Structure 1
Amino acid sequence: MSQQEEARNEKANLEKRIQELENRQMSQREEASNEIAKLVKRIQELENCQLEANQYHIDLEDDVKVHRTALQNLEDKIGRISKEAVTRRRVEMLNERVETYLGPLERLLNGLRQVDKE
């Protein structure tokens, strides 16, 4: 083989090798681009999950506040009812005492009226 043929063969081999390297580089760029797209999508999914988790946390805090308020209202109502029950019992006891003394006093007054009439 002549030097020119060797040079042409070497040039052809080098051009073929350059083309293979360029093709591999393009393939790697496409893979990297696909991987980047997957990662961007995953990041967006994770950000959405974080937003949902944050919203869920806020909703739970709101629910706790609402239920805490409802519980406080119930406790206040129970306190008022308890005070009313105690007051009712005291009134009933006073009524019983009044009735205990009222009967004999009425009889005494009726007796005095009869004495006055005679």
Structure 2
Amino acid sequence: MLSFVLIEENEMVKGDKYKIEENSYNFNKTFIGIYNGTFYDNLNTYSYLLWLKTTFVAQNKKRDDHIGPTYFETMRMSMTTIYDRKFYKLLLSKEKIQQAMEQRSVNIILQNITGDKTFKY
């Protein structure tokens, strides 16, 4: 199972995998794909996020139906449309292992300081 962590839009790096959740009037939408940069057209009037290898799923809020999952080799997402949009970065296995090791070492240090072997931070 993939793990994601919430980030700001300006923290995205070209070539990394992200999940985007949009909450529009009728649909909850989820995109999972590889960020391929930002595209501006007509003298920066419109901006788009470019994506590669994207899976799209949408759930209708008013009816009990959904769209997808649908796969797109390439797609662009308008940034001028107003949505409640959240960006999530894929947390790789290596990063999860590193975080677990750091958490364990912090707990061991704090257990030694407090003298309580059941203490967890």
- TM-score bracket relative to the smaller structure: under 0.3
TM-score normalised by length of structure 1: 0.21
TM-score using structure 2 length: 0.21
The structure carrying a bigger strand percent of its residues is 2
Higher relative contact order (CA 8 A, sep 6+): 2
Larger gyration radius, structure 1 or structure 2: 1
